[in-house]
Amino acid sequence: MAEKTLEDLFYETLKDIYYAERKILKALPKMARGAQDQKLKQAFEQHRDETEGQVERLQQVFELIGKRPRAKTCPAIDGILEEGEEILEEFKGAPALDAGLLAAAQAVEHYEISRYGTLRTWASQLGLKEAVTLLDQTLAEESKTDESLTKLAETAVNTAAQKKKAA
The yes-or-no verdict on residue 165 having pLDDT over 80 is no
The pLDDT mean for the chain works out to 94
155: amino acid identity, one letter: T
What DSSP element (H or E) covers 14?
helix 6-34
Walk me through the domains of the chain, giving residue ranges and CATH numbers. Answer: 6-155 (1.20.1260.10)
Q: Residue 160 has what pLDDT?
A: 87
Q: Residue 164 has what pLDDT?
A: 65
Q: How far apart are CA 155 and CA 153, in angstroms?
A: 6
34: amino acid identity, one letter: G
Which residues, other chains included, contact 22 with Cβ-Cβ below 8 Å and sequence gap of 6+? 55, 71
Q: How many CA atoms lie within 13 A of 81 on its CB side?
A: 19
pLDDT tier at 7, thresholds 50, 70, 90: very high
Q: Write out pLDDT tens, residues 35-94.
A: 999 999 999 999 999 999 999 999 999 999 999 999 999 999 999 999 999 999 999 989
